[in-house]
Structures are given as structure tokens and as C-alpha cells.
Amino acid sequence: MSDFGPMIAMMLFTAALIVAVAVFVIRFFRIWLRAALSGVPVTLFWLVAMQLRKVNPRVVVDGYIMASKAGLGVTRNELATHFLAAKGLETGVEDVVRGLIAAKEANVQLTFSQASAIYLAGGEVTDATLRDGVEAGVFEYSSSEHAMNT
């Protein structure tokens, strides 16, 4: 009578490895591919590291793509840090990036740190908030037309 124990153990290990690779591909490859096709540099290792730090990689990558396409110069680590500071609220990263885009379009000097602080303080980084900030002198309005009138 032969012992099939080692053979069964090897088959179980192989099956577990296949399942782990399949989960990895399904979970991270699509996010990486979306980033790669958008021209945003993200590695699979970075995506896994984000997941291990309890950061939703999809949320951060989507925000990073938006920020990069808008030419904001925001780093993926800044977005990941904001995600953690916002206690995992998925809308936090998107709201801050959209606010920065609105500020850029309105020629309002708003840094990522300022936008993040507004969001974390319970405010919305919207056009209205930006207008209020300019009127209160919190943010600078930078327009050539404005500079010529002063």
C-alpha cells in the first residue's frame, strides 16, 4: 500500500497557489492596467503595499489619474496619506482632487495640504469654498487681469 499523503499535500499547495495568483490578478492587475493605459506610473508592488496598509488602491489610483491628467503635480503618496487621514472615506480623495481641479480652473492658489485640511475639517473643497477663501484672503487669486488691476 503506497502513501499518497505527500502527493495530496503537493496538490493542495498547488491549488492554493493558483487561487492566490488568481485573486492577485483579479484584484490588482485591472487597477494597474487602468493606470498604465492612463500613463500614470504605478507598480503592482505599490498596489499590494497600499492594500497591506489598509488603503484602497482603486480610490488612490483613480484620484492619481485625475490629478495627473489635470496637471496638478499631486503624488500618489499624498493621496494615500489623505485616504488614511480621512479614515477610509472613499469620497475624500476624489473630493480633494476635484477641488484642486476647480481651484486651478478658477486661478486660485490652493495647495494639496490646504485642500486636504479643508476636507478633514469637515468642509467641502468646492467652488463656493474657494470663492469664500479668496474673499476672506485665505487663498490667493492669480490672474494676469487681476494683477493688472492692482
Contact of 108 with 134, CB cutoff 8 Å: yes
Q: What is the pLDDT of residue 42?
A: 92
What span, in angstroms and rounded, lies between the C-alpha atoms of 90 and 136?
30
The alpha carbon of 53 is separated from its chain's Cα centroid by a whole number of angstroms, namely 14
Q: List CB contacts of 140: < 8 A, sequence separation 6 or more.
A: 108, 109, 134
Q: What is the mean pLDDT, run by run of 10 residues, along the chain of 150 residues? A: 77 91 84 93 90 91 94 92 84 89 85 88 70 62 45
Sorted by where each begins, the domain ranges of the chain are 5-149
Pick from 108, 100, 104: nearest CA to 136: 108
Q: What is the pLDDT of residue 147?
A: 40
Q: What is the pLDDT of residue 119?
A: 86
Q: What is the pLDDT of residue 138?
A: 61
